[in-house]
Amino acid sequence: MADAQTATHAPTITRREDYRAPDWRVPEIALDFDLDPASTRVRATLWVERNGVHDAPLRLDGDGLTPASVRVDGADFADWSMDGPALLIPLGGSAHTIETEVVIAPERNTQLQGLYASQGMLCTQCEAEGFRRITFFPDRPDVLSRYKVRMTADKARFPVLLANGDPIAQGDGEDGTHWAEWHDPFPKPSYLFALVAGDLVANRGTFTTMSGRDVALGIWVRAPDLAKTDHALHALKLSMAWDEKVYGREYDLDVFNIVAVDDFNFGAMENKGLNVFNSRYILADPDTATDYDYDAIAAVVAHEYFHNWSGNRITCRDWFQLSLKEGFTVFRDQGFSADQGSAAVKRIEDVRGLRASQFPEDAGPLAHPIRPDEYIEIGNFYTATIYNKGAEVIRMMATILGPEKFRAATDLYFERFDGTAATCEDFVQSMEEGGGVDLTQFRRWYSQAGTPRVSATLAQEGGRARLSLRQSVPPTPGQPVKEPMVLPLKLRLFGAITGRALCEEQLILLDRPEHEVVFENLPETPVLSINRGFSAPVIVETNRTAQDLAFLSAHDDDPFARYEAMQQLMLDTLVASVANGAADHGAVIDAVRNTLGDARMDPAFIAEAVLLPSEAFIGDQMAVVDPEAIFRAREALRADLGRALEGEWRAAYEGAAAERFEYSPAAKGARRISSVALGYIAAGGAADAAELAFAQFERADNMTDRHAALTTLANGVSPLREAALEAFYKRYAGNGLVLDKWFQTQALSSRDDTAQVVEGLVNHPDFTLANPNRARALIGAFSVNQRAFHDISGRGYRFVADQMIALDRLNPQTAAKLIPPLGRWKRFDAARAAKMRAELERIVAAPGLSKDMFEQASKSLD
């Protein structure tokens, strides 16, 4: 097997403009697996057809494969050759049958791409280029084939054998083996191939589609986990119904299976009829999963299910089109989640996520457009830009079209491109035709990287107000000069005295560098509410005063705009405090008191609105990030809020106490506000804060409350901290997903000794880099703990670089995801920047570095 990495110092760059249709098509493939963790024999039969007039040989991608035999049209064939890892077969006719045989070793596959072993089961992960680690094939998304799969395995070890499509036949073989055959009638690209073999049980259900077909649903897990699968199964049924109702999309096979695996590089994978999931996005019960986990499970189940249409029925022509399926599918799953509970809270969470991961990406060395122009390793382009900015771009088109036309346009898209490998351009054209709009200039969202900035200045002259809008897009690597974008900005004016709306909400399409809007006959001084609902993924700067922001935080009728106004008020205060060493906290305290006391608002919304911006987001506002000063300013404001509003926090805390656990929007909102209140009570230095947290920790009948209490204690200095961490560890010994929380909570701690604690935890018997969830829980979490990671000594940088180098030898894809925090060196002072660069240089020089890491680390040095 090819797990040994080969140093890639002149890596190949793949370019979008070099796209060419495939020389050979493969309409049919039959795969025959003799499954065994140590040695699996894979026989593939490909029916190939020449595509057009050319004399190119058949090129079959491989990665670490050696052909044990090659046959053409039923006869042994000796004329093949290897071109690096690929197999070349010269062919004379227009159609041939190719048979190859290889042997692979799933148990030695630590990259978790291709066929690998996880906790005694065998499973696959083929997106983006894992199929070539299983068999020789033109491993590109525009080669669509009908798959027949036969699997043979030891019946005792692997009683369950699953693959894409429908089960056709099964039986017992010799020597304790059994076999199963699955056929998938829908032509699909190789990245959607999947098989699973293991000792699994299913939580079964059925869904009757809108045309009356029954679909057999199964959530497959190891027997002890069966009781934790009801929520995922329920979410699956809700998703299937939602896609019928909202997009008119019906499921198309007789079975839909999901398998949960513990070792997985991403969240989950949409393989046709056989989704494979990271177990953290399936398993939940009140004792082990937080409300956040429950929501994430429903969102990921929906996301992967929605890919059946946006990804599988219509796939991507090439990997540069990745946002075609990912941006659209994220937009679809966001809509689903918004419909399950509070749409306002969902929008707040999504925007917070965008600002935490996508804005920094767009402002840093790895910035790329949602349709990139080139890559070295496609695995590095499963980014917040492709996924989340991609979703924002779809959202803007939906906003411009309006709901009816957007639905007509998606219907047209699904109808026209069904069964094909399509492009982003195909999608935009469908929007234009179905919506009757011209998106020529809007297309710049696909080609220009960087977060646009809008400055909005409102000037009043008597009964008139003039709104001056100005846009600019910052330079990004390879794109020094930018053209103006189309920015859909929802805005409204409110009267500063009465709080009444002075006009209807308007949608302005800002498509020039500068634009002016005049409002006439205003009866009172207007206050500007802009980018309502976050209608455009941009940074808005306004000339609004602290008073205006406080006013909007109390009176705006758009809950997102209320949240934004409060955030901006907090941010302005914190930035001033960092600059001056202190700031007047009065306006923030008053605004928070107001929001907390607003009985009309949903507690779930209030809980989000009263949270301070993260340390990282405060840093993003500054020319040079000062992690210590930001930490101190934020802690000081938290402490003041905690003290000044102690009575309010205690009332909110006690008012939210529940009799028994329930998973409902109202109960979730109550738990959320109580966790936030507990945090503020502790921040204010209340003498009983640790006892309060510890009592909650012990009494809790659910993980949300228990984990909130643990987090509060883990950030503090009380001796109860150790007791809680130890009790938590003992209670959940053997539960990997909960142990991840135990590691992560310590890595995110705001204590002074976090770096030291984390360095010790890598030697903990439960720590391993081989499990991606565990590696992310400790190393990934620590590297986004801004103050701890950026300790002036540089020990945080050194530690994370050491771990990344070690992880790269096992799992390059997961290791490379950890590069971005180090790559932000330009945002820090010279002393930190030099230390961060030195670590990146050490990584680039590491012997045997993967191309994944090479691409991310070397680009981060530029």
- Residue of minimal CB distance from ligand TRP? 266
Nearest to Zn ion of 410, 749 (CB atom): 410
For helices 230-247 and 322-340, give the axis angle rounded to 10 degrees. Answer: 110
Whether residue 130 contacts residue 163, with contact meaning beta carbons closer than 8 Å, is answered with no
Neighbouring residues of 706: CB distance < 8 A, sequence distance ≥ 6: 696, 697, 700, 728
Whether residue 214 contacts residue 240, with contact meaning beta carbons closer than 8 Å, is answered with no
Proportion of the chain in helix, strand, coil states, percent, rounded to 5: 45, 20, 35
Residue 453, H or E segment: strand 453-461
Nearest to Zn ion of 225, 326 (CB atom): 326
Beta pairing partners, 183? 148, 166
Among 127, 142, 392, 602, indicate the residue that binds ligand TRP (CB under 6 A): 127
Q: What is the nearest approach in angstroms of ligand TRP to the Cβ of residue 378?
A: 8
Q: What is the nearest approach in angstroms of ligand TRP to the Cβ of residue 780?
A: 16
Nearest to Zn ion of 239, 577 (CB atom): 239
Which region among 65-73, 148-156, 267-275, 689-697 touches ligand TRP (by CB under 6 A)?
Answer: 267-275
Using alpha carbons, list the distances in angstroms from residue 587 to 551, 553, 594, 840. 10, 11, 11, 43
| Residue for token pair 């656990």 | 661
Give just the sign of the alpha carbon dihedral 523, 528, 530, 532. Answer: negative
Nearest to ligand TRP of 167, 267 (CB atom): 267
Residue 265 as a binder of ligand TRP (CB under 6 A): the answer is yes
Residue-wise burial string across 82-105, b where 16 or more C-beta atoms lie within 10 A, e elsewhere: eeebbbebebeeeebebbbbbebb
Q: What whole-number distance in Å separates Cα of residue 645 and Cα of residue 681?
A: 9
Q: What whole-number distance in Å separates Cα of residue 314 and Cα of residue 188?
A: 9
Q: What is the nearest approach in angstroms of ligand TRP to the Cβ of residue 585?
A: 42
Among 182, 266, 427, 605, indicate the residue that binds ligand TRP (CB under 6 A): 266
Whether residue 41 contacts residue 103, with contact meaning beta carbons closer than 8 Å, is answered with yes
* The entry of Zn ion, ligand TRP, none that residue 791 binds, CB within 5 to 8 Å by partner kind: none
**Would residue 505 show up in a list of annotated catalytic residues for this protein?**
no
Q: What whole-number distance in Å separates Cα of residue 824 and Cα of residue 717?
A: 31
Nearest to Zn ion of 150, 280 (CB atom): 280
- Within 318-337, which residues bind Zn ion (CB under 5 A)? 326, 329
Residue 279 as a binder of ligand TRP (CB under 6 A): the answer is no
Rg of the Cα atoms in the chain: 28
Q: What whole-number distance in Å separates Cα of residue 827 and Cα of residue 616?
A: 11
- Within 325-364, which residues bind ligand TRP (CB under 6 A)? 326
Which region among 19-27, 261-269, 459-467, 679-687 touches ligand TRP (by CB under 6 A)?
Answer: 261-269
Which region among 54-62, 123-131, 417-425, 637-645 touches ligand TRP (by CB under 6 A)?
Answer: 123-131
Q: What whole-number distance in Å separates Cα of residue 302 and Cα of residue 244?
A: 13
* The entry of ligand TRP, Zn ion, none that residue 128 binds, CB within 5 to 8 Å by partner kind: ligand TRP
Among the listed residues 181, 304, 326, 392, the single catalytic one is 304
Site string for ligand TRP, 68-107 (x = CB under 6 A): ----------------------------------------
Nearest to ligand TRP of 232, 486 (CB atom): 232
Q: What is the nearest approach in angstroms of ligand TRP to the Cβ of residue 290?
A: 21
Nearest to Zn ion of 295, 326 (CB atom): 326
Among 26, 30, 102, 128, indicate the residue that binds ligand TRP (CB under 6 A): 128
Nearest to ligand TRP of 89, 316 (CB atom): 316
Q: What whole-number distance in Å separates Cα of residue 33 and Cα of residue 162?
A: 12
Site string for ligand TRP, 468-507 (x = CB under 6 A): ----------------------------------------
The conformation of residue 27, written as its DSSP 8-state character, comes to E
Whether residue 252 contacts residue 186, with contact meaning beta carbons closer than 8 Å, is answered with yes
Q: What is the nearest approach in angstroms of ligand TRP to the Cβ of residue 265?
A: 5
Among 32, 142, 262, 270, indicate the residue that binds ligand TRP (CB under 6 A): 270
Beta pairing partners, 196? 123, 162
Chain contacts with Zn ion (rule: CB under 5 A): 326, 329
Catalytic residue annotation: 304
Chain contacts with ligand TRP (rule: CB under 6 A): 125, 127-128, 265-270, 303-304, 326, 379, 382
